[in-house]
Amino acid sequence: MKYVSEYRDKESALKYTGLIKKLVTREWSIMEVCGGQTHTIVKYGIDQLLPDSVTLIHGPGCPVCVTPIELIDQAISIAGLENVILCSFGDMLRVPGSCSDLLGVKASGGDVRMVYSPIDAIAIAAGNPEKEIVFFAVGFETTAPVTAAAVLQAEHLGLDNFSMLVSHVLVPPAIEVVLSGEDCAIQGFLAAGHVCTVMGYTEYEPIAEKYGVPIVVTGFEPLDILEGIHMCLKQLEEGRTDVENQYLRSVSREGNRTAIEIMRRVFEITDRKWRGIGRIPGSGLRLRERFARFDAGKKYEVSSHEVDEPEICISGEVLRGNKKPLECAAFGNVCTPEHPLGAPMVSAEGACAAYYRYRLARGK
Amino acid sequence: MNNSRITEMICPIPLSDHPEITMAHGGGGRLMNDLIDRIMLKAFTNPILDKRHDGAAIAVGEGRLAFATDSHVITPLFFPGGDIGALSVYGTVNDLAMCGADARWLSAAFIIEEGFSMKTLWKVVLSMAEASLKTGVSIVTGDTKVVDRGKGDGIYINTAGIGIIPAGVDIAPSRIREGDAVVLSGDIGRHGIAVMAIREGIQLESTIRSDLAPLDSMAGDLLREGLDIHCMRDLTRGGLASGLNEIASMTDCSIRIEENLIPVHDEVLGACEILGFDPLYVANEGRFVVILPRENGDRAVEILRRHDNGRQAEIIGFVEKPSYADVLMISSIGSERIIDMLSGEQLPRIC
């Protein structure tokens, strides 16, 4: 298939692994920020193709995983209300809150619907004026502009039966949290190509400079990742700390200005708790006061209390890149995709779920 | 409240221990297999059922009969490449064909919702008649129930079938041996994507048609040519990955396949890319795998390719000695990965 198979080609993969082996003179640790990249790395065994001296560390970039448990509880409470249709993306529906998940609410008779875009939720609201439609908005900068567009559309259509629970999060503050950790071993970053397709990469330039790390904006196909790793290693070997763009076919330095503009019109920056990591200042988006009537958090007075993760779970360490899933005592026995204890096991893009699916030996 | 007390409060009710049935329990993955193991097999256990083949093989007098059943609930009732009527006949005929049986007799049970259009019912029934004519089965008994409006989804159809297993045919996962070839009858993922595209209103450049087809003539040809078939399985919910896992889990062997050898149509691949699906887990209704001695592999491919529905048949891998996983795949870039059974249903990814 065009634009896919050429990025999954064995010969080109061999070429890049050869170049990397020739280039590397010492040990290096690189973090891929995005869960989609982690998924590709583990699925295609890219880490196993690299020399032993290169370590890939998996980052916190799975928006489903890091959605705070309190917000999921809130969504679950709202979904259980009379007359409400709760809509969200597919993989959000099975993420456990403290007592249930959204698919469980559906099984108990709640009207929970999977949508592909918040715009679909708008259509449901327009078609069901007697119902209240709530969209549970999760995702990084990648999905935030479409959520913002949905708010503008709801306003344009004068819909008063549509609201949203916003849990959008931003990547750069999370990278800073990882980098400012005392025991941070990360020497270079692969930034998330889709986030940068929207935002561009100017925000990453001060981070590269402040912390002295090279950052390479990277795509999601196996060859994108191999090329991104090669570019990052080249900078490390040459002692450079620039922001470079591997994902040229999608990303420009300034990003998608229309998308950024829509996002800024609708949202403002707020502090947000990340599941497994904790509160990160300036790392979330919330609706501006002007759009407060679309805020489901204000419309429905459902309370949720602070919840902690189980003690055995090392998800915080995994999300910060300090530990690998296989180092967790709960991994694969008490913690599985059917019984997730921590954030990275709950979504298919989480590091633990990726290891469970592609790496956990369970043969005869 | 102190931390330890809050920790004690956490009860992420696991899906597999859910007090109620969820959609994932019917998704063809690990949860459905759990349900069958822990509820159905536990209550009904007997030597025939415990073999867990697509249908039951029963000795009657000198010969053997195959007996299978399948229920059909699908939205939309009509989709590109088929409808619930043809699906209900082929579903059971295919299960019988996978036992090496010649399908003969079918029962048909209808659960119809009050208010369902008589015209649509006629269309469905005609499609069943046509499918049974095509596969040489007779629908010899049936049942009809009507439920209140709102208590059904238009129409549900169950069929059960009986077929005759020719003398000398012995097909079961337990016969698989190290070194056997794994043959796939055609490209995968069409049915799941065709139905999903209609159901979810996903616009693709061209219409993907379901692969819905009877497998009896292809399976019959393989047997008539005298190939020593060890196991056959039609790939339905859960796709190729689940089918291979089900087979491997019942043997002492592992199965190793190669990604580059598995045919997937570009349109299916494109839709999977958009939705974040893996075509290995997408449903089929007219594809099956045949496992047979390595030296018969090429011959099986040749026979399957004589059929319109088998033009893309390929040897996709081999049975090997036990390994760290039941099913392994060499990826397109040459690395190795585990092909696990899906936990529940595949859900579209966020980005």
CATH assignment at residue B185: 3.90.650.10
pLDDT in the model for residue A250: 95
pLDDT in the model for residue B201: 76
Taking all residues of chain B, what is their mean pLDDT, rounded to a whole number? 90
Residues B184 and B96 in one domain: no
Q: Does A345 touch chain B (CB under 8 A)?
A: no
pLDDT in the model for residue A62: 87
B348:A90 CB<8 A: yes
What percentage of chain A exceeds 90 in pLDDT? Answer: 68
In chain B, the number of structural domains is 2
Residues A348 and A205 in one domain: no
A359:B333 CB<8 A: no
pLDDT in the model for residue B207: 82
Residues B329 and B231 in one domain: yes
Instruction: Indicate the pLDDT class of residue A7, thresholds 50, 70 and 90.
Output: confident
Residue A141 covered by a domain? yes
A-chain CB neighbours of B21 within 8 Å are 107
Q: Does A358 touch chain B (CB under 8 A)?
A: yes
Nearest CB partner across the interface for A103, out of B22, B200, B266 = B22
Distance from CA of A191 to the nearest CA of B (A): 15
Whether B11 has a pLDDT exceeding 60, the answer reads: no
Residue A124, token pair as written in the block: 């449901």
Taking all residues of chain A, what is their mean pLDDT, rounded to a whole number? 92
Whether B1 has a pLDDT exceeding 50, the answer reads: no
Q: Does A51 touch chain B (CB under 8 A)?
A: no
pLDDT in the model for residue B13: 37
CA distance B169 to B163: 13
Residues B104 and B70 in one domain: yes
B-chain CB neighbours of A96 within 8 Å are 12-13
Residue A345, token pair as written in the block: 């096991």
Whether A111 has a pLDDT exceeding 90, the answer reads: yes
Residues B209 and B324 in one domain: yes
Residues A162 and A177 in one domain: no
Give whichever of A287-301, A312-326, A330-344 has the largest mean pLDDT: A287-301
Query: What average pLDDT does this structure show over B52-73?
Result: 90
**What is the 3-class SS of chain A, one letter each residue?**
CCCCHHHHCHHHHHHHHHHHHHHCCCCEEEEEEEHHHHHHHHHHCHHHHCCCCEEEEEEEECHHHHCCHHHHHHHHHHHCCCCEEEEECHHHCCCCCCCCCHHHHHHCCCEEEECCCHHHHHHHHHHCCCCEEEEEEEECCCCHHHHHHHHHHHHHHCCCCEEEEEEEECHHHHHHHHHCCCCCCCCEEEEEHHHHHHHCCCCHHHHHHHHCCCEEEECCCHHHHHHHHHHHHHHHHHCCCCEEECCCCCCCCCCCHHHHHHHHHHEEEEEEEECCCEEEEEEEEEECHHHHHHEHHHHCCCCCCCCCCCCCCCHHHHHHCCCCHHHCCCECCCECCCCCCCHHHHCCCCHHHHHHHHCCCCCC
pLDDT tens digits, residue range B156-172?
Answer: 999 999 999 999 899 98
Q: What is the CATH number of the domain that holds A141?
A: 3.40.50.11740
Residue B42 covered by a domain? no
Whether B211 has a pLDDT exceeding 70, the answer reads: yes
A10:B21 CB<8 A: no
What percentage of chain B exceeds 90 in pLDDT? Answer: 68
Single-letter residue type at B326:
D
Q: How many CB atoms lie within 10 A of CB B259?
A: 21
Q: What is the CATH number of the domain that holds A28?
A: 3.40.50.11750
Q: Does A140 touch chain B (CB under 8 A)?
A: yes
A49:B252 CB<8 A: no
A108:B336 CB<8 A: no
pLDDT in the model for residue B17: 62
B6:A140 CB<8 A: no
pLDDT in the model for residue A85: 97
pLDDT in the model for residue B14: 45
Residue A292 covered by a domain? yes
A89:B350 CB<8 A: yes
B interface test, pick of A358, A359, A362 with most B CB neighbours within 10 Å: A358
Domain boundary among B165, B192, B219: B165
Distance from CA of B188 to the nearest CA of A (A): 15
B332:A9 CB<8 A: yes
Residue indicated by tokens 């889709």: A194
Distance from CA of A347 to the nearest CA of B (A): 9
Residue A330 covered by a domain? yes
Instruction: Indicate the pLDDT class of residue B3, thresholds 50, 70 and 90.
Output: very low
pLDDT in the model for residue B349: 63
Residues B308 and B187 in one domain: yes
Residue B152 covered by a domain? yes
User: Which residue from A minimizes the CA distance to B278?
Assistant: A43
B-chain CB neighbours of A311 within 8 Å are 7
User: Which residue from A minimizes the CA distance to B1?
Assistant: A306
Distance from CA of B202 to the nearest CA of A (A): 9
A63:B350 CB<8 A: yes
Residue B8 covered by a domain? no
A357:B322 CB<8 A: no
In chain A, the number of structural domains is 3
Q: What is the CATH number of the domain that holds B63?
A: 3.30.1330.10
Enclosing domain of residue A336? 315-358
Enclosing domain of residue B289? 173-338
pLDDT in the model for residue B160: 98
Residue A44, token pair as written in the block: 């295609």
CA distance A332 to A322: 19
- For the ranges A293-297, B167-171, B273-277, the lowest mean pLDDT is seen at B273-277
Residue A90 covered by a domain? yes
Nearest CB partner across the interface for B335, out of A45, A341, A362 = A45
Residues A155 and A261 in one domain: yes
Residue B40 covered by a domain? no
Residues B265 and B196 in one domain: yes
pLDDT in the model for residue A65: 86
Residue A7 covered by a domain? no
Residue B48 covered by a domain? no
Nearest CB partner across the interface for B322, out of A1, A96, A364 = A364
B12:A96 CB<8 A: yes
CB contacts < 8 A, A to B, total 168
Residues A105 and A117 in one domain: yes
Nearest CB partner across the interface for B334, out of A13, A358, A360 = A13
Residues B146 and B193 in one domain: no
Residues A216 and A147 in one domain: no
Q: Which residues pair with A285 in a beta bridge?
A: A269
Cβ within 8 Å of B, A 59-78: 63-64
Residue B233 covered by a domain? yes
Going by C-alpha positions, the residue among A168, A148, A171 that lies closest to residue A284 is A168
Residue B232 covered by a domain? yes
- For the ranges A35-49, A346-360, B285-299, B300-314, the lowest mean pLDDT is seen at A346-360
pLDDT in the model for residue B10: 39
B interface test, pick of A6, A7, A44 with most B CB neighbours within 10 Å: A44
Residues A321 and A276 in one domain: no
Instruction: Indicate the pLDDT class of residue B198, thresholds 50, 70 and 90.
Output: confident
pLDDT in the model for residue B308: 95
Residues B222 and B316 in one domain: yes
Instruction: Indicate the pLDDT class of residue B2, thresholds 50, 70 and 90.
Output: very low
pLDDT tens digits, residue range B143-158?
Answer: 999 999 999 889 999 9
B-chain CB neighbours of A106 within 8 Å are 22-23
**What is the 3-class SS of chain B, one letter each residue?**
CCHHHHHHHCCCCCHHHCCCCCHHHHCCCHHHHHHHHHHHHHHHCCCCHHHCCCCEEEEECCEEEEEEEEEECCCCCEECCEEHHHHHHHHHHHHHHCCCCEEEEEEEEEEEECCCCHHHHHHHHHHHHHHHHHHCCEEEEEEEEEECCCCCCCEEEEEEEEEEECCCCCCCHHHCCCCCEEEECCCCCHHHHHHHHHHCCCCCCCCCCCCCCCCHHHHHHHHHCCCCCCEEEECCCCHHHHHHHHHHHCCCCEEEEEHHHCCCCHHHHHHHHHHCCCHHHCCCCCCEEEEECHHHHHHHHHHHHCCHHHCCCEEEEEEECCCCCCEEEECCCCCEEECCCCCCCCCCCCC
Residues A52 and A71 in one domain: no
A43:B202 CB<8 A: no
Residues B177 and B319 in one domain: yes
Q: Going by C-beta distance under 8 Å and a sequence separation of 6 or more, which residues neighbour residue A28?
A: A53, A54, A55, A187, A188, A233, A236
pLDDT in the model for residue B42: 85
Domain boundary among B133, B165, B197: B165
Q: Going by C-beta distance under 8 Å and a sequence separation of 6 or more, which residues neighbour residue A239?
A: none
Whether B274 has a pLDDT exceeding 50, the answer reads: yes
Whether A56 has a pLDDT exceeding 80, the answer reads: yes
User: Which residue from B minimizes the CA distance to A142?
Assistant: B351
With contact defined as beta carbons under 8 Å apart, do A199 and A243 qualify?
Answer: no
Nearest CB partner across the interface for B322, out of A13, A100, A363 = A363
B334:A138 CB<8 A: no
Q: Does A112 touch chain B (CB under 8 A)?
A: no
Residues A164 and A271 in one domain: yes
A100:B13 CB<8 A: yes
Residues A143 and A238 in one domain: no
Q: A310: number of CA atoms within 13 Å, CB side? A: 20
Residue B26 covered by a domain? no
Query: What average pLDDT does this structure show over A186-198?
Result: 96
Nearest CB partner across the interface for A361, out of B24, B266, B325 = B325
Residues B138 and B232 in one domain: no
Domain boundary among B120, B141, B165: B165
Residues A337 and A239 in one domain: no
Instruction: Indicate the pLDDT class of residue A302, thresholds 50, 70 and 90.
Output: confident
Residue A3 covered by a domain? no
What percentage of chain A exceeds 70 in pLDDT? Answer: 99
Residues B148 and B207 in one domain: no
Residues A80 and A38 in one domain: no
CA distance A91 to A97: 14
Query: What average pLDDT does this structure show over A335-343?
Result: 82
Residues B298 and B273 in one domain: yes
A-chain CB neighbours of B269 within 8 Å are 1, 4
Residues A201 and A164 in one domain: no
Q: How many CB atoms lie within 10 A of CB B138?
A: 11
